[in-house]
Amino acid sequence: MSTSSYLIRRVLQAVVVIVIVTIVVFGLLHALPGGPARGILGPQATAQQIASFNHEQGLDKPLPVQYFYYLNQLLHGDLGTSYTLNEPVSQLISERLAKTLVLTALSAIVGLVLAIPLGMWQAVRRNKPVDYVITTLSFIAYSTPVYFLGLILVLVFSQALPWFPSQAPQGDTLAQVFSDPLALVLPVAAGAASMIAVFSRYMRAATLENLSEDYVRTARAGGSRSRSILWRHVFRNSLTPVIAMLGYYVPVLFGGALVVEQLFNYPGMGLLFWTAAQSSDYPVLLGCVLVIAIATVVGTLLADIVQRIIDPRVKAGRA
């Protein structure tokens, strides 16, 4: 398959996935007890009030008609209006999305910068004590609920040792968020931990695979020093698949942000989602789910494309 027809097919697939997500979100909205009307009018509303509201909003029309109406709204960037904050959901999300992206990006960068050398170190020292220790620590980090880790971090590095604040930076703008870098340390650490665990494993496996390739033996036979082979060849070849994994990791990062933002009171999309869940603010909840799902689908798409373009073996394998 040529690269361009692969691209077209892959983008079409992504569009289909997003359409399925909108059907799921639409289905959830209508599966609510009493439907959207009960959500907006509250538990005290009479049957008559609900009926007239449904008529006004077009909610008495057949479901497929309503779905296309919903889809049409989405295409115009309209995600509905929050029940409790009385603001357009799209506006609420766009105000907070940037903050969530900054936090997750910082966690991802810190996570990768630590995980990659750790994984390589493990591969080079395979089955030595270092390898065992890092493997064990990775599994422990992976097995720890993020909120428990966050709590321990706060108890140790904020209560016992007063090094960092226990709250994330507050404020509406990104400038305010960055004005207090110390306050970012604990939330970023909590978000990066499982990332380090997972990606050091990937990097270890990728490095081991490359170390056993013929080109390494050839380079060694040609007299290259181990260190230069490791950094000039193995590092670069191992990095590609690991970076591509990042695209598939997007939903996990958002899941982590949900907990970290609540725990450290960071005013991003996760916290918005959390408060919306407490007040049953369904338009906000479903709007967030949709935005995150689209971000994930795009992330996976980019990962597939990057892998396809950079690594010729992927192309050969699928053709």
Within the chain, what is the greatest distance between any pair of CA atoms? 86
Distance CA 119, CA 235 (A): 11
Nearer to other proteins, 40 or 294 (CB): 294
Rounded least distance, CB 91 to other proteins, Å: 20
Q: Does 105 bind other proteins (CB under 8 A)?
A: no
Interface with other proteins, residue 5, by CB under 8 A: no
Q: x-or-dash pattern for other proteins, window 260-299, by CB under 8 A?
A: -------------xx-xxx-x-x--xx-xx--xxx-xx--
Evaluate whether 186 touches 264 at the Cβ level (below 8 Å): yes
Amino acid at 120: M
Considering only the stretches 43-51, 60-68, 87-95, 190-198, report the one whose residues sit in contact with other proteins under the rule CB under 8 A: 190-198
Count of residues of this chain found to bind other proteins when the rule CB under 8 A is applied: 65
What letter does residue 160 receive in the DSSP assignment? I
Residue 59 CB, shortest distance to other proteins, in Å, is 18
**Residue 65 binds to other proteins (criterion: CB under 8 A):** no
CA angle 28, 29, 31 (to 5 degrees): 60
d(CA 216, CA 224) in angstroms, rounded, equals 9
Q: Per DSSP, what are the bridge partners of residue 88?
A: 81
Phi and psi, residue 145, nearest 5°: -60, 135
Distance CA 183, CA 264 (A): 9
The CA angle 241-205-229, to the nearest 5 degrees, is 80
Q: Kindly state the tokens that stand for 128.
A: 């030595």
Contact indicator for 87, 171 with CB cutoff of 8 Å: no
Nearest partner of 40 among 68, 67, 80, 78, judged by Cα:
80
Nearer to other proteins, 69 or 142 (CB): 142
127/135 Cα distance (integer angstroms) = 10
Q: Which is nearer to other proteins, 95 or 131 (CB)?
A: 131
Judged by beta carbon, residue 148 or residue 178, the one nearer other proteins is 148
Rounded to whole angstroms, how far apart are CA atoms 133 and 126?
11
Q: Which of 100, 104, 138, 238 binds other proteins (CB under 8 A)?
A: 138
156 binds other proteins (CB under 8 A): no
Shortest CB 173 distance to other proteins, Å:
26
Stretch 197-226 residues interacting with other proteins (CB under 8 A): 197-198, 201-202, 204-206, 208-209
- Interface residues with other proteins (CB under 8 A)? 13, 16-18, 20-21, 24, 28, 32-33, 122, 126-127, 131-132, 135-136, 138-140, 142-145, 147-148, 151-152, 155, 159, 194, 197-198, 201-202, 204-206, 208-209, 248-249, 251-252, 254-255, 258-259, 273-274, 276-278, 280, 282, 285-286, 288-289, 292-294, 296-297, 300
